[in-house]
Amino acid sequence: METEPLLQSGEQEIMFLILEMHRLLLAGVQFLFDLRIVLLGNRAAGKTSLANLITGHAEPHLKRTAQCVKMHGDFAGRQVTVVDTPGWWKNYLVKETPEFQKQEILLSVAHCPPGPHAVLLIIRVDALFKEKHRRSVQEHLELLSERVWNHTIVVFTYRDQLQEQTLGNEGKALQWLVEKCGNRYHVLNNENWNDDSQVKDLLEKIEKMVAQNRGHYYEIDLKTLKEVNYTCLLHKQVERIFPPHLRKIYIHLLVHPTHA
Number of domains in the chain: 2
User: What pLDDT is attached to residue 50?
Assistant: 93
Half-sphere exposure of 71 (CA within 13 A, CB side): 30
The residues near 252 (Cβ < 8 Å, ≥ 6 apart) are none
Q: What are the backbone dihedrals phi and psi of residue 72, each rounded to the nearest 5 degrees, phi first?
A: -125, 150
- Angle, vertex CA 64, rays to CA 112 and CA 243, nearest 5: 90
In tens, the pLDDT along 225-260 reads 666 555 555 555 556 666 666 656 655 555 454 444
User: What pLDDT is attached to residue 121?
Assistant: 98
User: What pLDDT is attached to residue 217?
Assistant: 93
- Domain residue limits at 248: 223-255
235 burial via Cβ count (<10 Å: 0-12, 13-18, 19+): middle
Given strand 185-187, what is the order of strands in its sheet? 69-75, 78-84, 34-41, 118-124, 152-157, 185-187
Q: Residue 79: inside a domain, yes or no? A: yes
- Smallest CA-to-CA distance from 153 within 101, 188, 110, 113 is with 188
Q: Residue 5: inside a domain, yes or no? A: no
In tens, the pLDDT along 55-97 reads 987 654 456 668 899 999 998 888 999 999 999 999 999 999 9
- To the nearest whole number, what is the mean pLDDT of the chain? 79
How many whole angstroms separate alpha carbon 105 and alpha carbon 242? 25
- Same domain assignment for residues 237 and 212: no
Residue 221: which pLDDT band, with cuts at 50, 70 and 90?
confident
- Same domain assignment for residues 75 and 154: yes
Q: Residue 15: inside a domain, yes or no? A: no
The residues near 116 (Cβ < 8 Å, ≥ 6 apart) are 36, 37, 38, 83, 109, 151, 217, 218
User: What pLDDT is attached to residue 126?
Assistant: 83
Q: Residue 12: inside a domain, yes or no? A: no
- Same domain assignment for residues 230 and 130: no
User: What pLDDT is attached to residue 125?
Assistant: 86
Residue 40: which pLDDT band, with cuts at 50, 70 and 90?
very high
In tens, the pLDDT along 131-179 reads 999 999 999 999 999 999 999 999 999 876 655 444 444 588 999 999 9
For residue 28, the Cα-to-chain-centroid distance in whole angstroms is: 24
- Same domain assignment for residues 189 and 63: yes
Helix (H, G, I), strand (E, B) or coil at 118: strand
Q: Residue 2: inside a domain, yes or no? A: no
User: What pLDDT is attached to residue 110?
Assistant: 86
